[in-house]
Every structure is written in structure tokens, then in C-alpha cells.
Amino acid sequence: MALVRAAILAASPHNTQPWRFKVSNSAVELHIDRQRNVGALDPYLREEFIGMGCALENLLLTAPPNGYSASLSLAPGQLTAISPEPQSELVARVDLVSAERAASELYQAIPRRHTNRGPYDLRKPLPPGLVGALNRLPGSDEQVRLFIFTAEAERQRIVELSSAANTEIYSDPQVEAASQRWIRLKSAEVQKFRDGLTIDNFGLPPFTTALAKALPEAMLTRMAARGQMHGYAERMLTAPLIGIIAVRDRYAREQCLAAGRLWQRAHLWATARGLAARPANESVELIDYQRMLGRPARALAQLSEITADPPWQPTFVFLMGHPTLTAHASPRRSVQQVLNS
């Protein structure tokens, strides 16, 4: 159960927490709850499977400190469009045997890792060797690769693509409505659902947060769903590092899980060093959106120009740097709420 408690602290899109767990004396099964999705914003559940990879990474990191050696089995397959009647299904199984206890800095960072959507401090240089250390994190292999950009011109180009993608995607009322489903503005909603995005997670300074709470609820919900709180593009530009996680096949389930594991590992590594990080996925979400509508793969081509390695398909974009604001913990459902009987 300690492994499950760590797993539910993982990142997930819009804090949807799409996981369910089946626990026995010698194994933990991870199941994805397909009903917990963001609709047209993630029409193939690619980002939800990445979130499952994040939970899987936390679970595996927690095994050694609790006296287990873990072996992993994945359920293979390709991502498909969201079913009208989505069901839960097995994603991975972790078999456990007794072993000597061994902690790690990534394990110790799990309860301190939070998505920080505030601006970054460009006056503080990145730690020496940061890029090399991120590239050496376990997980980059023949199926997953990390591209890192620190040059201003490269970061500017990625931000421009993200901003344009945000405008295009959220011009679709179905996308906006699906995103709004996971916005929790009232404390009663937060306590009831224990998921979604709250106003404290928008990365606003305290004074601005107080002003935002005075806005009409419908306006605030719409701004939050569109990622338009407090100069989104400007905040992205304050990040001295932008990373792109790419895979060979962005619709292969196992590769989505691997991308999520790498993102979680990178975020925990940053947390252990006092750095902040957050996803910035509009440009990769646009790839799915254009595919869903049968449009030319323009967004994929634009990102591939930036990575300059077309066989690698971008599937996750993140920002990293020194924080200027303290990130708040997002709500979480209890262990009892995510267990399969």
C-alpha cells in the first residue's frame, strides 16, 4: 500500500488521476480508468497514458525503500480514440519479491514534487552540468529520447508554437468544455472531487490570486481552461530550459508509459535540486487534434523542425528553471478511492 500511496502523488493531465490499482501480497496491477479523460483535448488518451507512466515510475521508485525488488510487465497495444462507453483496463503489472531496503534521492523527492506554473527566475543560472545530467537519467533508450533547448531563439520558437496551438485548439468549444470539466474553483468542489486544477495551482502571485477569485466564476473557469491565466506565453519565456520528450511511435502504449516515466524522473530530479518544472503541452496536443480531424500533420512537422530528427516523434514538452513562487500541492483522491476490489 505504500507503493500505491506514492503512485497517486504522480503527475497527470489536468490532475485527472486516471489510475486504479489492484493489490495482492506479491504484486500491484495498474489499470487506467478511461472515463477520467479530458475529451477532445486528448482524443487518444495519449496524455493519460503518460500520466500512468508517471504513477508507474513513483511506484517502482518506492519498491526498494520498502524492501521489494520489482519486475515490470506491460500490456502492449496501440492507442485508440475514446470509446463512447470507456472502461478500465490493465496497463502494467509489478511483481514484488523481498529484498534489502535501499532509498534514493528520487524516492525522497516524491512528496515534494509539485507542478509549478509560476514564472521562473532568469537571473539565476542553471546549475553546471544540468543538461548532461538530464540526458544521463535512466529511461532514454531506443524508444524514448530527451531533447533539451536552452538557447533563446530555440525557446522563443517553441513558445510561439505553443501559443498558436493554444489559440487553435481552444477555438473548439468541445475542447474548452472538456477542459473546464476539470477546473475546481470552489473549496467544496475540491473537497468533493479531490482532483482537477484549483486556482492555487495556476501559478499566480498571492495578490493576483486574490484578484482572480473576485472575477465572475464563468470567466475565471474559461480563462483557466484555456491556460490564459496571467500571461501564459510570457511565463513560458522565463524558463531557461525547455525539454521535449520524443518517442518512436507516439501512439504505442508502452512508449507513452516510458515517456511518462522519464518525465516523472526528470521532475523528481529537478525537485531534489530546488528547481521547478511544469508541462507545456499545447503544441503536442495540437498534433492529436489535427489527427483527430483528419488535417495535415502541420504541428508535428513544425516540432520536428525544432528537434531536427524527424524519426523521433515529440510527445511531451516541459519547462524547467529556478522558481519565483512556491507551488501548492494539488488535491489527491485517497488510496481507498483508487483500489479495485
Give the mean model confidence (pLDDT) for residues 248-277.
Answer: 97
Q: Looking at residue 11, what is its pLDDT? A: 97
Instruction: Name which of 333, 340, 276, 341 is nearest 7 in CA terms.
Output: 333
Neighbouring residues of 60: CB distance < 8 A, sequence distance ≥ 6:
70, 72, 94, 261
pLDDT tens, residue by residue, 168-196: 999 999 999 999 999 998 889 999 999 99
Alpha-helical runs (H) found in 70-216: 105-109, 130-135, 152-169, 173-180, 187-193, 206-213
pLDDT-wise least confident of 16-20, 94-98, 181-185, 242-246: 181-185
Joined grid coordinates for residue 305? 523542425
Q: Looking at residue 204, what is its pLDDT? A: 65
Residue 52 pLDDT exceeds 90: yes
pLDDT band at 203; cut points 50, 70, 90:
confident
Q: Looking at residue 217, what is its pLDDT? A: 62
Give the mean model confidence (pLDDT) for residues 319-336.
Answer: 96
Angle at which helices 253-272 and 46-62 cross, to 10°: 60
pLDDT tens, residue by residue, 127-145: 999 999 999 998 767 889 9
CA–CA separation, 15 and 5 (whole Å): 16
Residue 230 pLDDT exceeds 80: no
Q: Looking at residue 85, what is its pLDDT? A: 87
Task: Locate CATH 3.40.109.10 in the chain.
Answer: 2-111, 114-321
| Per-residue b or e along 251-283, where b marks 16 or more CB atoms closer than 10 Å to that residue's CB | bbbbbbbbbbbbbbbbbbbbbbeebbbbbbbbb
CA–CA separation, 200 and 218 (whole Å): 17
CB 200 within 8 A of CB 189: no
Q: Looking at residue 330, what is its pLDDT? A: 95
CA 196: distance to chain centroid? 13
The CATH fold of domain 2-111: NADH Oxidase (3.40.109)
Instruction: Name which of 113, 151, 129, 126 is nearest 263 in CA terms.
Output: 113
Give the mean model confidence (pLDDT) for residues 217-244.
Answer: 75
Amino acid at 56: L
DSSP 8-state code for residue 151:
S
Q: Which residues on adjacent β-strands are paired with residue 74?
A: 92
pLDDT band at 81; cut points 50, 70, 90:
very high
Number of H helices, E strands in the chain: 13, 10
CA contacts within 13 A on the Cβ side of 175: 21
In CATH, the architecture of 114-321 is 3-Layer(aba) Sandwich (3.40)
Give the mean model confidence (pLDDT) for residues 78-87.
Answer: 91
Give the mean model confidence (pLDDT) for residues 300-305.
Answer: 97
Q: Looking at residue 207, what is its pLDDT? A: 47
